Amino acid sequence: MTFAMKKGRKGGCNLCGSRKFRVAYEKFNYSLVRCRGCGLVYSWPPIPEDVLFQRYSEEYLFNEYLPIFKTDRTGFPIDLIRSHYSFFLHLLERFFNSGGKLLDIGCGPGFFLKVASERGWVGEGVDVSESAVRYATDVVGVRARQGKFEDLNFPPDSFDAIVLLDTLEHLYDPLGSMRRCYGILKKGGLLILNTPDYQSVSRRILGKNWAILSPLEHLYNFSQKTLHLLFKKAGFKDFIIHNQPDFNPENTHSRENQRYRLWKKMHGRLEKSDYYWKWREFKQNELMDDMADLKTADMEATMRGATTGDALRLQAICPGETETIPLKAGLHKEKKRRVGKKTYRFLSRIIRGDTLIAIAKK
């Protein structure tokens, strides 16, 4: 048992240290408990490392993971992989014009690193799965190391960007890992991650049959609130967290269940509704606007208290940044005002998708 595990799991809640919790679900002989201090949901009792790592075996890689990408032992369809990761690359490219040094934590077979390298990024990956790392280096041809991120040494201030795609929920010590990420990011560097949203409509309807609730694999289940706390405690000051209004009703451990049939029907209706697609577009624009705000956060800090005249002078001094300043009161914000706060909060709750996206700047 590692130090991180003792500290992160045995010392109470990973986020707030509280030892008080209530059981939210019982599944696969484990419990999912909700911390009474901060609301973080985690697997209980702590799962031994060897039990957990057995899951990331060669069979898992070849029989479960690679088939998602229609891939076998010898090759991989690069177009499918490009389209799968284009959203995350697009987010990075809104920040950096021409790549930089990138770390992919939980890189798996290295597909993201592959497409990032095509777009100018110099990347390296880390993953606990020996077979995935071997595949990444030998078949995909990217740089990857086997091991737990917590145990590997990276020099401080060494990366322009760090990504954790579907990884955070698997870590033994998310807070410790995020603090390390903060340490090894360069000033102005960016961390991007995605993780399931515990408050999603899918969980509310499917209950314990929601396949994301998987205590042996997903040790932690974050919500917008607990993810916010995680970033704060890790040292990040500038970050945004968004819910993606996308759903997958097939993500269930029981298709016999009535709730599954209900959710499938509701989801079918939702997808036929123009309002849903408008809301989805609205949320995408919101993310992009907040991203623009995050990019200009330093400038905002220097401008705090400045007059409109000062802002105009700043635009004149920094012509390259002129397009980012007006976005502060951009089209999307105008639309948000028209939607109205109450309606916005209501829609955010009832169309709460399966995934959270978080972007943090050091």
Kindly state the smallest distance separating residue 40's Cβ from Zn ion, in Å.
Answer: 5
CA-to-CA distance for 276 and 17, rounded, in angstroms? Answer: 39
Q: Which of 38, 61, 136, 205 binds Zn ion (CB under 5 A)?
A: 38
| Paired residues of 240 in beta bridges | 359
- Residues in the interface with Zn ion (CB under 5 A) total 8
Q: Which of 2, 7, 16, 235 binds Zn ion (CB under 5 A)?
A: 16
At a CB cut-off of 8 Å and minimum separation 6, what does 174 contact? Answer: 8, 14, 15, 168, 220, 230
Tell me the two tokens of residue 279.
């809301």
Region of 18-26, 207-215, 234-242, 311-319 interacting with Zn ion (CB under 5 A): 18-26
Q: Which is nearer to Zn ion, 18 or 322 (by Cβ)?
A: 18
Kindly state the smallest distance separating residue 62's Cβ from Zn ion, in Å.
Answer: 37
70: left (phi over 0), alpha (psi -120 to 50) or beta: left
Q: Which is nearer to Zn ion, 38 or 185 (by Cβ)?
A: 38
- Work out whether 35 is an interface residue with Zn ion (CB under 5 A): yes
Q: Which of 13, 52, 126, 128 binds Zn ion (CB under 5 A)?
A: 13
Task: Please give the distance of CA 187 from its chain centroid, rounded to a whole number.
Answer: 21
- In the chain, helix, strand, coil percent, each to 5? 50, 20, 30
Does residue 259 sit in helix, strand or coil?
A: helix
- Work out whether 37 is an interface residue with Zn ion (CB under 5 A): yes
CA triple 44-231-177, angle to 5 deg:
60
- Work out whether 18 is an interface residue with Zn ion (CB under 5 A): yes
Q: Which is nearer to Zn ion, 40 or 161 (by Cβ)?
A: 40
Site for Zn ion in 39-58 (CB under 5 A): 40
Kindly state the smallest distance separating residue 1's Cβ from Zn ion, in Å.
Answer: 21
Kindly state the smallest distance separating residue 145's Cβ from Zn ion, in Å.
Answer: 31
C-alpha distances in Å from residue 238, one per residue of 15, 177, 178, 270, 307: 19, 18, 14, 34, 23
Kindly state the smallest distance separating residue 44's Cβ from Zn ion, in Å.
Answer: 12
CA triple 92-105-148, angle to 5 deg:
165
Among 166, 165, 263, 259, residue whose Cα is nearest residue 212: 166
Region of 27-35, 156-164, 245-253, 316-324 interacting with Zn ion (CB under 5 A): 27-35
Q: Which is nearer to Zn ion, 134 or 225 (by Cβ)?
A: 225
Does residue 125 sit in helix, strand or coil?
A: strand
Kindly state the smallest distance separating residue 198's Cβ from Zn ion, in Å.
Answer: 13
Region of 7-15, 113-121, 156-164, 307-315 interacting with Zn ion (CB under 5 A): 7-15
Q: Which is nearer to Zn ion, 132 or 230 (by Cβ)?
A: 230
Count of CB atoms situated within 10 Å of the CB of 311: 15
The identity of residue 263, as a single letter, is W
**H or E, element range at 356:** strand 355-361
Q: Which is nearer to Zn ion, 20 or 349 (by Cβ)?
A: 20
Binding footprint of Zn ion on the chain (CB under 5 A): 13, 15-16, 18, 35, 37-38, 40
